[in-house]
Structure 1
Amino acid sequence: MTANTIITADTRINARWLIPVEPRAVVLEHQALIIQGSRIAAVLPQTEADQTYRTRETLDLNQHVLLPGLINLHGHTAMSLFRGMADDLPLMTWLNDHIWPAEGRFVSEQFVMDGARLAMAEMLRTGTTTFSDMYFFPEVTAQVAHDTGMRAQVCFPLMDMPTVWGSGPEEYLHKGAGLIEQWQGDDYIMPAIGPHAPYTVADDPLKEAVALSRRTGAALQIHLHETAFEVEQAVKASGIRPVSRMQALGVLGENTQCVHMTQIDDSDLAALSASGTHVIHCPESNLKLASGFCPVDTLQQRGINVCIGTDGAASNNDLDLFGELRTAAMIAKAVAGDAAALSAHRALEMATLNGARALGRSDELGSLLPGKLADLIAVDLSDPFLQPVYDPASHLVYSNHGRAVSHSWIHGVPQLQDGRLTRIDVPDLMLRVEAWRKQILS
């Protein structure tokens, strides 16, 4: 390239700070990020961009930090319509006496459509650009996410018992195979397999799920070791811990994501580490349900990839991943007895690059590098509660909340502009949500 060569591109974003995530623990200042089509064309100092690029659109974000879009790797999106419905209860009481009966009464395709859209509005508004869902009518959630232009791993549910989506494992697996066939290779939707938990799925369906995963490449996501009660009951019934059972059935592996993992001993660590299994930490849901603490520092020291998720809004009660990061960092320090156990940069990595690794898409997502997909967010650090700014990464994790997110792009397409959603009709959505509230209350 000669000194006079000018490159044309679609969008230039000038940012006061930029956290690329790769390389780790780097904060760049006065950078320009160039978007061409759906990908990042360049990240370079603004003075160099002045001499090199001409773009159709230039956005000056002089008090903002630019970073990769956040990846919320576990949730039940439609359960946003149950937010605050059954609080202050232990997990099994919450499930057996409140959530499962409510799902049997109210969950339908329309419920999932409206609930998923409500969750997506909240996630987009607070910085999430990719999410993972495990819920009924996954075909509906996949279509809503695709229509909205939001990236999603959509796990079809698998359980032994009948639900509103099917009569049992055979039907779930049949429908799930169709979901995988329909969406495999899509730019936005990543179909996956969601066996609910060891205590709700027998060995044979789990083996079939593993076979389907190996045949199609679809990921497996399962709730595992969420509570001490779960582990104790499994040992009492079978003599082995659930992780050992999953290992024997072939569930663990590089294409498997285990959610919660609050109860971990040395044998569990060895199995997770040897198999390359990913762990998804949901700190606020675990706190609210008194489920326990995931030992993040120990897991990371063993080389286990730890990601982060909010869980559903019915057990959290929000989908703000920045709040989740703050809680995760605080808990990690207390559990490890070490104030340096989970730094701000490592926490941000959990919500970006680590999530991309678990999805098998770290070559395209999770960091701001040229050639990667243009999934990114801007956070406004100008508010008094974020002043003064010494370290933007520290502010993002310890001082920030998701409402400071001002802009987001997915696949190079603007999803949030100056705090306003571009692809979701919020007034219409609020009317639908209010109708559901009245129906559920009645």
Structure 2
Amino acid sequence: MSESSTPPEPCDLLIEAGFIVPVEPHAVVLSDHAVAITGERIVAIAPREQARARFAPKQVVSRPHSVLIPGLVNAHTHNPMTLLRGVADDLPLMVWLQQHIWPVEAAVIGPEFVGDGTAFAVAEMLRGGTTCANENYFFPDVQAAVYKQLGFRALVGLPVINFPTAWAKSDDEYFDKAGQVHDAWRDDALVSTAFAPHAPYTVSDANFERVRMLADQLDMSVHLHTHETAQEVADSLKEYGQRPLARLDRLGLVNDRLIAVHMTQLTDSEIHLCAERGVSVVHCPESNLKLASGFCPACALVRAGVNLAIGTDGCASNNDLDMFGETRTAAILAKAVANDATALDAPSALRAATLGGARALGLEEKIGSIEVGKQADLACIDLSGLESQPLHHVLSQIVYATGRHQVTDVWIAGHRKLAERVLVDMDIDRLIANARQWRERIAGISR
């Protein structure tokens, strides 16, 4: 049989796009290409006409005026707190936490709150092109079940904190429950777990040592707020005689499993320590700006070789889960902090929001870039509108001028989750009605 008569290969889905930004290789933009998907995986990336000749797809999605990118990875969030959006604003971190957020949480937190908040957050994230989240909140068993039910990819944090909560009353209970949740989800394709000790100022040396031992044994990541404010650093020096990162290093936690969130207070030596040990840093610029916590030195971290990821933080301090907005803020803020207009350019910012996040979560072999063999976690952005014209540079347009409302289609592991701006298998009217009833319940507590 001649080559010209070779029958086309079957595939489940062919996505044709005016542009594809694979992220790896870096800064590449492919014009008029297609991605072929079979099952959960990408099986080919080719020019559109070649792909049409090679494959016999069950379904074709053609987006000639759009760009296809890897699904965005929200590398730090408290998704159930979507239901606390706008509860307490314009306050510094510790006042915000101690006098407002923690009291409201104490009154409402439970499986119902966490489940409803997680589902609402998934809908918001999907409509904004986010396909994976690094979750950090209580009732991880409920979160994991909701993520799985909705087909959303997540690394779910197993909380450890020094005081009793609705989730656990003692140190032993936190760790016992962490083990149970980890065991329940250890082999799942979409949901995995990490330890999530809250912060250096709320976790003892003994509990950090316990986290480190178990993380080593189970090969788990450690997801931790640290170096978030100058006050945190000053308090650590006063109590422990060490800055938080030095204390964590003493306890054996500064390694390639550490997902260090915020990191606004860093010395040059601390930046180089993170690079040397393989620490991933999650930059949450809008939350840090809103709480006046400080400025993460994103450019210095990247130039030192540190893996940089981007997260929104929770809706109570941001107040949204918009990774396009977060990435734009990260890129622009990096230039001001470094006093260098070339800092964290558009390709590097998008990389942090995709492959950088995947690497931080230990998922870089599965997601974060459009490559053959990887899972098909993808987002399609419409560039046909007035606000996207004239289209000189696709990467610049994505980072500096794209809004989440331009996301038209989203896939996770090859399954379509958003189709022409419509959520698949999620009832948006029901979600909104449910959020409104939570508003009524919370309003009486927070005022």
Give the TM-score taking structure 2 as reference length.
0.98
1:304 counterpart (295, 303, 306): 306
Equivalent residue, structure 2, for 1:343: 345
Instruction: Flag structure 1 segments of 5+ consecutive residues without an equivalent.
Output: none
The residue number in structure 1 matching 2:88 is 86
TM-aligned CA deviation for residue 145 of structure 1: 0.4
State the partner residue of 2:413.
Answer: 411
Asked if 2 retains the 8 angstrom alpha-carbon contact of 1:78 and 1:111, the reply is yes
The counterpart of 2:330, out of the listed 320, 328, 331, is: 328
Residues 310-351 of structure 1 deviation map (CA, whole Å, 9 limit, x = unaligned):
000000000000000000000000011111101111000001
Residue of 38, 41, 47 corresponding to 1:39: 41
Task: Quote the offset at 1:24 in angstroms.
Answer: 0.3
More divergent stretch after superposition (290-299 vs 261-270): 261-270
Per the alignment, residue 54 of structure 1 pairs with: 56
Alpha-carbon distance between aligned partners in 1 of 2:105 and 2:419, rounded to the nearest angstrom:
35
* Percent identity over paired residues: 44
Match of 1:428 in 2: 430
1:439 aligns with: 441
**Map of 1:260-299 to 2, 5 A cutoff?**
260-299=262-301
For 1:303, the aligned partner's letter is: G
The answer to whether the 8 A contact 2:134-2:361 is kept is no
- 1:45-87 CA-to-partner distances (Å, cap 9, x unmatched) read 0111122111111111011000100000101000011000100
Three-state SS of the structure 2 residue aligned to 1:352 is helix
Q: Report deviation, 1:4.
A: 2.8
1:267, distance to aligned residue in structure 2 (A): 2.9
Show the counterpart of 1:248.
250
Report deviation, 1:160.
0.6
133, 136, 140: which is aligned to 1:134?
A: 136
Aligned pairs (5 A) from 1:93-112? 93-112=95-114
Q: Indicate the residue corresponding to 2:365 in structure 1.
A: 363
- In structure 2, what is the Cα distance between the partners aligned to 1:402 and 1:331? 20
Counterpart position of 1:2? 3
Q: Does the residue aligned with 1:176 lie in a helix, a strand or coil?
A: helix
2: CA distance, partners of 1:47 / 1:18: 15
**Residue 117 of structure 2 corresponds to residue 115 of structure 1:** yes
Where does 1:158-237 land on structure 2 (aligned, <5 Å)? 158-237=160-239
- Which whole-Å CA distance do the structure 2 matches of 1:379 and 1:14 have between them? 12
In structure 1, the residue corresponding to 2:158 is in which secondary structure? strand
For the Cα contact (< 8 Å) 2:36–2:44, is it kept in 1? yes
* SS class of match (2:3): coil
Query: What RMSD in Å do the two structures reach over aligned CA positions?
Result: 1.0
Quote the Cα distance in structure 2 between the aligned partners of 1:49 and 1:273. Answer: 41
Distance 1:343 1:441 in 2: 42
Q: CA–CA distance in 2 between the matches of 1:137 and 1:364?
A: 26
User: For residues 341 and 208 of structure 2, what CA distance do their matches in structure 1 show?
Assistant: 40
Cα separation, 1, equivalents of 2:359 and 2:438: 37
TM-score, normalised to structure 1, is 0.99
How far 1:430 moved relative to its partner? 1.6
Unaligned ranges ≥5, structure 2? none
Q: Which runs of 4+ in 1 moved over 4 A?
A: none
Q: Letter of the 2:112 partner, please give it.
A: Q
Could you say which residue in structure 2 is the equivalent of 1:257? 259
In the alignment, the residues of structure 2 paired with residue 136 and residue 319 of structure 1 have an alpha-carbon distance, to the nearest angstrom, of 18
Deviation at 1:3, TM superposition (A): 3.6
Separation in structure 1 between the aligned mates of residue 28 and residue 251 of structure 2, nearest angstrom: 41
- Give the equivalent residue in structure 1 for 2:380: 378
Question: How far off its partner does 1:40 sit?
Answer: 0.4
User: C-alpha displacement at 1:216, in angstroms?
Assistant: 1.1
Q: Distance in 2 between matches of 1:3 and 1:362?
A: 37
Return the alpha-carbon distance in structure 1 between the equivalents of residues 425 and 342 of structure 2.
40
How big is the shift at 1:89? 0.2
Provide the rounded CA distance (Å) in 2 between the counterparts of 1:226 and 1:191. Answer: 23
Structure 2 SS opposite 1:192: strand
Quick one: distance in 2 between partners of 1:359 and 1:365? 10
Cα contact 1:247–1:271 (8 A) shared by 2: no
CA distance in 2 between counterparts of 1:36 and 1:56 reads 10
The answer (yes or no) to whether the contact 2:255–2:277 under 8 Å persists in 1 is yes
Matched letter for residue 83 of structure 1: R
Partner Cα separation in structure 1 for residue 377 and residue 275 of structure 2:
30
* Structure 1 letter corresponding to 2:31: E
> Aligned residue for 2:155?
153
Given candidates 11, 17, 20, the residue that maps to 2:19 is 17
- Rounded to whole Å, the distance in 1 between the matches of 2:281 and 2:30 is 30
- State how many pairs are aligned: 442
Tell me the CA shift for residue 270 of structure 1. 3.0
From 316, 319, 325, the equivalent of 1:317 is: 319
CA contact (8 A) 2:71 2:354 kept: yes
Please state how far the C-alpha of 1:271 moved relative to its aligned partner. Answer: 2.3
SS of aligned partner of 1:199? coil
Partner deviation per Cα, 1:126-166 (whole Å, 9 max, x = no partner): 01000011101011010000000000000011101001111
Letter of the 1:332 counterpart: A
